[in-house]
Structure 1
Amino acid sequence: MYSTCSLPITSHSSAIAAPALSLAARSFSSSNGSGAFPFSLRLHFTGEISDKRPSAKTWTGIPSIEAKAKTRSESRAARHERVRKKVHGTPERPRMCVFRSNKHLYVQVIDDTKMHTLAAASTMQKPVIEEIDFSSGPTIEVAKKVGEAIAKSCLEKGITQVAFDRGGYPYHGRVQALADAAREHGLLF
């Protein structure tokens, strides 16, 4: 049920419900056609407004705020932020970060103390493109070649251990294939 404009306020015995209702009434008092706001606001109630004290199980009379559903990319970014709080790259053990787009796959080895990229590989580099057919996009075979390329690049620069940062992506498919190929070619996770 949606209610627009003004709300009736009665004396409530509840110390919890009364401030919420009076606050709702104040925020809607100027949207009842007085001309203060050029728009009308709606408030969604989960229950009825009553003089009864709300029980511990149900909060009747208190407006609910429903959260907007996150998109897949927003959820991935949130997971990546949570992982980044735990995974840090050092000069001895830099962070190997994966980014996956619809067309390409990118991986970097980063020293977070100096904020430097030590090595990088992607499906856009010529050695990877020349070795495999890339016409069907970034498949698991392509991810294995990128993992092999990053392992060779790291070993040439003397990097043997890395901390794997999956970038908020689930550890399966292309991300897992890249990590397994890098391990097979000498990198330690």
Structure 2
Amino acid sequence: MAKNRHAARRIRSERVRYQIARTCGDRPRLSVFRSVSHIYAQIIDDKQGRTIAAASTLEESIRTQIKSGGNKEAAVLVGRYIAERALQANIREVVFDRGGCLFHGRVKALADSAREGGLEF
């Protein structure tokens, strides 16, 4: 058992990433990081070790449209942007990496928005 919540989150994150590596095949990974005041999403090609597309609430184009970066509306907007950028890079299928977070709230809102935008996972 982990000594604190940060260590527990890191353990959960490594467990999720291990399962993804075992089962995902050649698909890139849609990684989500959620902080108190912002949310970030990246599409990562693990074979080449590079980021293909990224979106976050820190971007000026997203920041002007939202009141706060730490709510579901912001997560929905980031999901739309990441799906749009993935389609521009000719990526339709990804595997979802929720990190150490539970799949509810802002993480689920981002995932649902990315699915509506055209990503399949």
2:78 is matched with 146
Deviation at 1:124, TM superposition (A): 0.3
1:123-149 CA distance string (max 9 Å, x none):
001121122222xx4100100000001
Equivalent position of 1:36 in the other structure = none
Structure 1 position 77 matched with structure 2 position 13: no
Residues 1:176 and 2:102 are matched in the alignment: no
Other structure's SS at 2:93 match: coil
Alpha-carbon RMSD across the aligned residues, in angstroms, is 1.5
CA distance in 1, matches of 2:107, 2:34: 8
Percent identity among equivalent residues?
Answer: 49
Distance in 2 between the 1:125 and 1:140 partners? 16
State how 1:85-96 maps to structure 2 within 5 Å. 85-88=18-21, 92-96=26-30
SS at match of 1:85: helix
Count matched residues. 119
C-alpha distance in structure 1 between counterparts of 2:118 and 2:64, whole Å: 22
Aligned residue for 2:66? Answer: 132
User: Which residue does 1:120 correspond to in 2?
Assistant: 54
Alpha-carbon distance in structure 2 between the residues aligned to 1:143 and 1:103: 11
Q: Normalising by structure 1, what TM-score?
A: 0.60
> Which structure is larger by alpha-carbon Rg, 1 or 2?
1
Alignment match, 1:8: none
Structure 1 outlier segments of 4+, above 4 Å: none
Residue among 99, 106, 113 paired with 2:33: 99
Alpha-carbon distance between aligned partners in 1 of 2:60 and 2:84, rounded to the nearest angstrom = 15
Give the distance between the partners of 1:160 and 1:117, measured in 2 at CA.
Answer: 15
Task: Report SS of the residue matched to 2:83.
Answer: helix
CA distance in structure 2 between the partners assigned to 1:96 and 1:160 by the alignment = 11
Secondary structure of the structure 1 residue equivalent to 2:84: helix
Q: 1:81 Cα deviation (Å)?
A: 0.5
Q: Distance in 1 between matches of 2:74 and 2:4?
A: 27
Deviation at 1:70, TM superposition (A): 2.5
- Secondary structure in structure 2 of the residue aligned to 1:82: helix
- SS of 1:80's partner is helix
Name which structure has the greater RCO, CA cutoff 8 Å, separation 6+: 2
User: Displacement of 1:76 after TM fit?
Assistant: 1.0
Could you tell me how far apart the structure 1 residues matched to 2:6 and 2:75 are? 21
